A and B are shown apart, each in its own frame.
Chain A
Amino acid sequence: MAGSEPAATAVAPPDTVKILIAGGFGVGKTTMVGSVSEIVPLRTEESLTVAGLGIDDLDGIEKKRATTVALDFGRITISRELVLYLFGTPGQQRFWFMWNDLAIGALGAVVLIDVRRPESSFGAIDFFERRGIPFVVGVNGFHGEHPYPPEAIRDALALPEHVPVLLCDARERESCRDVLIALIDQLIAAAVEADRGGGDDGGGGLTRRGR
């Protein structure tokens, strides 16, 4: 019958999944997205009205004004049926409420750390930990330099053992790929575990620490 349930197009739309690339402002998120993306990173903007929000570092921002939050993202086509998107989260503290929306449905996250100012990524770690979203930590060595071994960084950040810490260089494709693979391996290990566990008694959840 004409006109009922149109067969959309010849091309079936792919399934899509996403991974977040998080961390403090200027830590190398967009660089990392660009290193592994098959497209030049795209920028999409969201206009918002920021009404104070009770945050103290609104340097120079009026009490209430429209502002724009930019998201940089890239794409990796896994197959004709599956496409992976990488989203850089907005790095400025006052836009974190946007992360909630972004985090919904994400496979997991990479938290990038700048060894020169790791505290700028503490918030990102807290965010994913609290929500039980699996993540790995990538230590972005600027100019490829890594003054600290991963274990020292793990201790300094008080990261639980199941969170992988990798030294990386956000400018290098292979390096970024390895960070993403570490995340997926962590997810696979958890999936296998959950499978084996069967009877789900809470199973010690992937990213939960004892409260």
Chain B
Amino acid sequence: MPALAREVAADNSTGRLVRPFTLTGGRTRPSRADFTLITTLTAVDPPPVRAPRPQPEQARILRRCAEPIAVAELAAHLDLPVSVVVIMLCDLLEAGLITAHPPHPVSPRSPDLDLLQKVRDSLGRL
């Protein structure tokens, strides 16, 4: 039912809270928890030979991921709730169509001085 996807894409904020989950086959939880707001996604190019043909909404995501993009940015551009996007990302990850790069690990117990210095220098140039 491509009509559904189109309806969601063209949606003008009415009834938004329910319909996005039609894109996830009614699932409201991701199958894995790999995705934070700042996990970076990249479409695998070329896609694996045996990968299933992406649905229209998935194809939209893949186009956005041609260059690395963070989950939060992707959701904002797609105008979909993060939780919905993450469920779709799980499918794409499992199909081998995207790779997910986790955020830089931040541990208060072992701070990364080198990283902090880079951030400091960059802010100084702002």
**Interface positions of A (Cβ within 8 A of B):** 2-3, 6, 8-9, 11-18, 36, 42-47, 66, 68, 71, 73, 75-76, 78-79, 82-85, 87, 102, 104-107, 132-134, 173-174, 177, 180-181, 184-185, 187-188, 190-192, 194-195, 200, 205-206
Contact = CB atoms under 8 A, between A and B. Distances in A.
B106 A102 contact: no
A44 to B, nearest CB: 4
Contacts, number: 152
A17 B103 contact: yes
Contacts of B126: 36, 76, 173-174, 177
A200 B48 CA distance: 48
Interface string B25-41: 00000000000111111
B37 A79 contact: no
A82 B72 CA distance: 16
User: Interface size bucket, B side?
Assistant: 35 or more
A200 B122 contact: no
Interface of B: 16-18, 20, 36-46, 48-50, 66-68, 70, 72-73, 75-77, 81-84, 96, 99, 101, 103-106, 108-113, 115-120, 122-124, 126
Sort A-B residue pairs by CB-CB distance and give the 8 closest, nearest first.
A191-B111, A42-B76, A13-B68, A13-B101, A13-B40, A16-B38, A15-B104, A78-B122
Contact of A181 (B44, B81, B104, B124): B124
Q: Is the interface of A mostly helix, strand, loop or mixed?
A: mixed
B108 A206 contact: yes
A17 B40 contact: no
